[in-house]
Amino acid sequence: MAKKEYARPALLDEALAFGGPIVVFDQVDLAFDEKVILRQVSFTLQTGHTKIFLGASGAGKSTILRLALGLLRPDAGRIFVNGEQIDRMKEDDLMRVRADLGMVFQEGALFDSLTVRENVGYKLSEELHWPPDEVAARVKEVVGFVGLGEFVDRMPSDLSGGQRRRVAIARAMAAKPRILLYDEPTTGLDPITSLTVDEEIIKLRDLEGVSSVLVTHQLRDAFFVAEHAAEWAGSELQFEKADREKSDQAEFIMLKDGRIAFEGNASELREVAKRDEYIRSFLS
Amino acid sequence: MAPKLQQWSKDAVLEVQEYVLLICRVARAAVTPPIYYRDIIQQFDSIGIGSLTVVLLAGLFTGMVLALNSGITLDQFGARSMVGRLISASMVKELGPVLTGLMVSGRVGSGIAAELGSMLVTDQIAALRALGTDPIRKLVVPRVLAGLLMMPLLSILATGIGMVGGWVVTVLQFHVASTIYWSSVVQGLYMQDVWMGIIKPFALGFTIVTIGCHVGMRTTGGTQGVGNATKLAVVASSVAVIAVDFMVTKILIVLMY
């Protein structure tokens, strides 16, 4: 079977270059039966930037990622991903949009009957029909990127929680998507492992130019991702405090009862927390 | 009471609607690309070869016990040589397909519901969709094809081994000559019976596997939900085997006899 390539038209590619609107939610509503999950949610993720969603459990954070992937459909409003309106798109057409999206699920959601190598190379071999040698080379590259080169033949059940999340990141990035969605990637991990996962997110954003949506209620991780940047110092990769312009490219969105209670950068969030009791209680 | 009945009716209609929708999606996915050939072969192996032992054992002992019971009764009328006729008619038309169906629903129906259910609650099915794979094509179609095509083979083998079991008991217990037994087996069969024995397992295999997939793909509530789904799949598919057996028998009698 021929190798599949998904390419954006040149004009769209230009429009969605760095700073372009790569994910747009326009007045999105969603309810399950009587329970309202999202109300009039609008935001824009710019190419190369990061959106960090904060909020209490059940506030609708993970739902936003599932909507962006087309796993759920909104009751009202429009969603654009990569320049295509996906909210009413057929499942078969959504597969094309998902080719440019990667998602890291809460517990990793690795296929437990496949090895790390097969998990990471799944999309390349099963869906994009890459030749086996190219799949092997890419798997080696991305598994090395997340520092798990020696674990490729292990089963997911043989890995620790942190390793599973890193494999999930490797799987999500294997097909070189332009957008990565992270659903609480550090929940349940110890601080040291969380830091490793945070660094992977920063590396993908700063070194690979991936646009990211991060859902978390781990504030330490959220601020670390927003306020740090990865850069090479010779042959050594360093994570330094980001400058103002860089850290402004990470925007926080605080959800409360399905609505956006706050949208802005890290310093604005700290400022608002002084006045807003809900945000203050969340940050403290 | 009335609101509860109303809710139950709504839920029942919804289940039927979702089941029919699943079948329509499977039918479409089975004839349009992409088709996951490797998964289809894996499921043929898992459902067909994997069920062989249990189905053969069930068939063997059913044939043996049938010969024992019918031999004792027929002996009272001096008709012990007719045991083969009774066994072949019972095994080919009814016991072979139905017992194979019940064995397969216990082993395969529950396995499918548990596997798909646990994939669903651990987000593996969402991950499949996120990676650009349609779970119906990847997970359901291979299982349905395997169930549909392997059930008749399993049923034929179960029927065959059942006759062999009956032969062992008839020869050893009732001292009937092998040639008498086997000619009696052939005399007891009509072509319509053979067709019935071949057609029924297609319907039963399809029913068992689609129920397993439907229940698995609608699992909710974590690991406890997976347990409930497994239980429901076994109960529903076992009852469905008997019900579908009745309906198919009725239709085939009208059409063929």
Residue B127 burial (CB < 10 Å; 0-12/13-18/19+)? Answer: buried
Model pLDDT, residue B211: 98
A245 contacts: CB under 8 Å, gap ≥ 6? none
Instruction: Tell me: pLDDT of A5 over 80.
Output: no
A275: enclosing H helix or E strand: none
Q: What is the pLDDT of residues A210-231, one digit of tens each?
A: 999 999 988 889 999 999 999 8
Q: Which residues of B touch A68 (CB under 8 A)?
A: none
Between A16 and A142, the higher pLDDT residue:
A142
From B242, B241, B245, B197, select the one nearest B92 (Cα to Cα).
B197
Distances (CA, A) of A152 to A148, A156, B94, B131: 7, 10, 50, 19
B205–chain A nearest CA distance, Å: 25
Q: Which of B36, B127, B134 sits opposite A105 (nearest CB)?
A: B127
Q: How confident is the model at residue A278 (pLDDT cuts 50, 70, 90)?
A: confident
Query: Using DSSP, how many helices (H) and how many strands (E) does chain B show?
Result: 12, 0
Fold of A47-60+90-100+177-283: Rossmann fold (3.40.50)
Tell me the HSE value of B243 on the side-chain side, using a 13 A CA sphere.
8
B96–chain A nearest CA distance, Å: 33
Tell me the HSE value of A258 on the side-chain side, using a 13 A CA sphere.
13
B134 contact A CB<8A: yes
Interface A–B counts its CB contacts (< 8 A) at 48
Q: Which residues of B touch A98 (CB under 8 A)?
A: 129-132
B156 contacts: CB under 8 Å, gap ≥ 6? B96, B197, B198, B201
Domain ranges of chain A: 47-60+90-100+177-283
Contact A95 B134 (CB under 8 A): yes
Give which of B42, B124, B131 to mutate to test A binding, by max A Cβ within 10 Å.
B131
Q: Which of B123, B128, B133 sits opposite A107 (nearest CB)?
A: B123
Model pLDDT, residue A177: 92
Model pLDDT, residue A230: 92
ipTM confidence? 0.88
Model pLDDT, residue A155: 97
User: Coil, strand, or helix at residue A259?
Assistant: strand
Q: Which residues of A touch B128 (CB under 8 A)?
A: 111
Distances (CA, A) of B230 to A55, A265, B238: 35, 48, 12
Q: What is the mean pLDDT of residues B15-24?
A: 96
Q: How far apart are CA B53 and CA B230, in angstroms?
A: 21
B45–chain A nearest CA distance, Å: 16
Q: How confident is the model at residue A257 (pLDDT cuts 50, 70, 90)?
A: confident
Q: Which residues of A touch B122 (CB under 8 A)?
A: 107, 109, 112
Distances (CA, A) of A8 to A47, A126, B164: 14, 22, 65
Q: What is the pLDDT of residues A230-255, one digit of tens each?
A: 988 888 889 999 998 888 999 999 99
- Chain B residue with CA closest to A171: the answer is B131
Contact B132 A123 (CB under 8 A): yes
B78 contact A CB<8A: no
User: Coil, strand, or helix at residue A10?
Assistant: helix
Q: Which residues of A touch B36 (CB under 8 A)?
A: 126
Query: Is the distance from CB of A101 to CB of A177 less than 8 angstroms?
Result: yes
Q: How confident is the model at residue B1 (pLDDT cuts 50, 70, 90)?
A: low
Q: What is the mean pLDDT of residues B30-44?
A: 95
B124 contact A CB<8A: yes
Distances (CA, A) of A126 to B30, B138, B165: 17, 10, 46
Q: What is the pLDDT of residues B87-136, one digit of tens each?
A: 999 999 999 999 999 999 999 999 999 999 999 999 999 999 999 999 99
Contact B130 A101 (CB under 8 A): yes
Query: Is the distance from CB of A72 to CB of A54 less than 8 angstroms?
Result: no
A7–chain B nearest CA distance, Å: 15
Q: Which runs of consecutive H residues, i.e. helices, occur in B44-95?
A: 50-76, 83-90
Q: Which residues of A touch B117 (CB under 8 A)?
A: none
Query: Is the distance from CB of A80 to CB of A23 less than 8 angstroms?
Result: yes
pTM, entire model: 0.89
Q: Which residues of B touch A91 (CB under 8 A)?
A: 134
The phi and psi torsions of A164 (rounded to 5 degrees) equal: -65, -40
Give which of A86, A92, A95 to mutate to test B binding, by max B Cβ within 10 Å.
A95
First to last CA, chain B: 47
pLDDT above 70: percentage of residues in chain A:
99
A164 contacts: CB under 8 Å, gap ≥ 6? A107, A108, A110, A156
Q: What is the pLDDT of residues B183-234, one digit of tens each?
A: 999 998 999 999 999 999 999 999 999 999 999 999 998 889 999 999 999 9
Q: How confident is the model at residue A33 (pLDDT cuts 50, 70, 90)?
A: confident
The residue behind tokens 């790390």 is: A116
Instruction: Tell me: pLDDT of B85 over 90.
Output: yes
Cis ω for the linkage preceding A191 (within 30 of 0): no
Query: Is the distance from CB of A74 to CB of A30 less than 8 angstroms?
Result: yes
- Chain A residue with CA closest to B33: the answer is A92
From B23, B22, B97, select the one nearest B55 (Cα to Cα).
B97
Q: What is the pLDDT of residues A168-205, one digit of tens each?
A: 999 999 998 999 999 999 888 888 888 988 998 999 99
Q: How far apart are CA B162 and CA B29, in angstroms?
A: 37
The whole-chain average pLDDT of chain B stands at 95
Contact B131 A122 (CB under 8 A): yes
User: Coil, strand, or helix at residue A46?
Assistant: strand
Helices A219-227, A266-273: crossing angle, 10 deg rounding = 140
B45 contact A CB<8A: no
Q: Which residues of A touch B131 (CB under 8 A)?
A: 98, 122-123, 126-127, 171
Q: How far apart are CA A118 and CA A124, in angstroms?
A: 10
Contact A109 B123 (CB under 8 A): yes
Model pLDDT, residue A214: 96
First to last CA, chain A: 55
Residue A276 burial (CB < 10 Å; 0-12/13-18/19+)? Answer: middle
The whole-chain average pLDDT of chain A stands at 90
- Chain B residue with CA closest to A95: the answer is B132
How does DSSP classify residue B136? I
- Chain A residue with CA closest to B39: the answer is A126
pLDDT above 70: percentage of residues in chain B:
100
B174 contact A CB<8A: no
B14 contact A CB<8A: no
